[in-house]
């Protein structure tokens, strides 16, 4: 089951978010585990999301029960649950804080110079 790896993914997301908000305090981000919501909708998966109040975007790190050693990374609007663009998939053991931070920098900053 994917839940075996959700804590590790959540720790990576929290570390990346902390570094991102240090560099961009106006981003107004939050990190959450949305597994109960997904499972109540019938999706057999666990997920961590990072929402950005400034841009209105959501980054989702999803672990499907059928493929528990991989993490899917998606981006969408935080108001639109389940409608995400899949950016990539990778082995959980290869995911690190810099991967997530890079995505936050690329996708959450609205007014880039």
Give the pLDDT confidence score for residue 110 in this predicted structure: 64
pTM over 0.85: yes
Q: Which residues of the chain have pLDDT under 70?
A: 1-3, 81-82, 110-113
Give the pLDDT confidence score for residue 111 in this predicted structure: 62
Give the pLDDT confidence score for residue 82 in this predicted structure: 67
Asked whether 13 and 32 are in contact (CB, 8 A), the reply is no
Give the pLDDT confidence score for residue 1 in this predicted structure: 46
Asked whether 68 and 1 are in contact (CB, 8 A), the reply is yes
Give the pLDDT confidence score for residue 3 in this predicted structure: 64
Give the pLDDT confidence score for residue 41 in this predicted structure: 86
């Amino acid at each position: 089951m994917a839940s075996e790896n959700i804590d590790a993914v959540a720790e990576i997301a929290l570390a990346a978010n902390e570094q991102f908000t240090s560099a961009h305090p106006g981003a107004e981000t939050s990190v959450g585990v949305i597994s109960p919501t997904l499972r109540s909708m019938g999706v057999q998966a666990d997920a961590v999301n990072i929402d950005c109040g400034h841009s209105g975007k959501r980054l989702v790190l999803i672990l499907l029960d059928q493929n528990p050693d991989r993490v899917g990374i998606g981006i969408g609007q935080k108001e639109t649950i389940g409608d995400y663009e899949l950016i990539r998939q990778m082995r959980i053991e290869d995911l690190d804080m810099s991967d997530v931070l890079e995505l936050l920098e690329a996708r959450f900053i609205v007014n880039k110079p």
